[in-house]
Amino acid sequence: MNWFKRYYNKKSSKKHGWHPSWFASYLSDFNEELQNAIIKFQVEHDLVPDGLVGPMTFRRLFTNHELEIEEEKSENHILINGEQVPIDWDVCTSAASCKKVLEKRNISTHFCIDNDGVIFQYLDPNDIGWHAGKVNNYSIGVDFSNAYYTKYNSIYKKRGFSERPVLENSTVHGVKLKPHLGYYKVQIEAYKQLIKTLCEHYEIPLVVPTTESGDLITKVHDEAARGKFDGVVCHYHLTRGKIDCAGLELKKIVDSLY
């Protein structure tokens, strides 16, 4: 057994709060069996199969673990500069477990749309979130709850949700992606309401990065990456290191809000 991997993973577990059972329910020790399970997990999630729970592996592991988190509290407003701004949708503003998720992933975002369409608010949009690299100062972050990999559709069914649509023709940065999970209709409707509310409040134009022919650009957009684009963008418009939200029909969504 590789002693370094054992030491590294024990240190990672203590630092981030994960347990060997997160990889398989029967695992409880930091042994070779765990290392093999980690490698299998990394291969399944297109990660470097080194058997170490580093930052990237932990983030994917914790995202999967989030599926077990359930929240109930909801409101019908979002907070902007400390004031309640009405929105025609359910919004959750005090989810302790969501705060824990953000802290463990060392990131922050403003909103997340859950599987049932409930909007979780983590930050006031007037505050800076750590979600978009160089353009954190100029952007409001909105995330979707989505495990991405098709194998997790069975878990959604087990949790009482319907199967997610599987998207087979997504292309980001000029690369056709493997089939992946799409978005529930209720999530799209929630997203529309949230985008509409934010754009109206901040007078943000309802536009997206497009080609000369009017098609949605699905790669890095220079103006957006420099914080010079005034409109609605995906994470992949900001950096080649991201593919979210792949398959999201952003132009169609924004056009429907006129």
How many Cβ atoms sit within 10 Å of the Cβ of residue 140? 24
How many whole angstroms separate alpha carbon 251 and alpha carbon 134?
A: 24
Least confident window among 76-80, 119-123, 155-159: 76-80
DSSP one-letter string for 99-135: HHHHHHHT---SEEE-TTSPEEE-S-TTSPPSSSGGG
The pLDDT tens digits for 26-36 are 899 999 999 99
pLDDT of 92: 43
**What are the structural domain ranges in the chain?**
3-67, 75-255
**Rounded Cα–Cα distance for residues 157 and 162 (Å):** 6
- How much is the pLDDT for 236? 96
Please give the helix or strand (H or E) that residue 2 lies within, else none: none
The pTM score is 0.69
The model's pLDDT over 133-175, given as tens digits with 9 standing for 90+, comes to 889 998 999 988 888 889 888 888 887 889 999 999 999 999 9
- Find which of 96-110, 137-151, 222-236 is predicted with most confidence, using mean pLDDT: 222-236
Residue 90 pLDDT > 50, yes or no? no
Residue-level pLDDT at 209: 98
Identify the top-confidence range among 41-50, 57-66, 115-124, 178-187. Answer: 178-187
Alpha helices per DSSP H over the chain? 3-16, 32-44, 55-65, 96-105, 153-158, 185-202, 222-225, 250-255
CATH number attached to the domain at 75-255: 3.40.80
Do residues 2 and 51 lie in contact, with contact meaning Cβ atoms separated by under 8 Å?
Answer: yes
Residue 94 pLDDT: 33
**Mean pLDDT (the chain, rounded):** 85
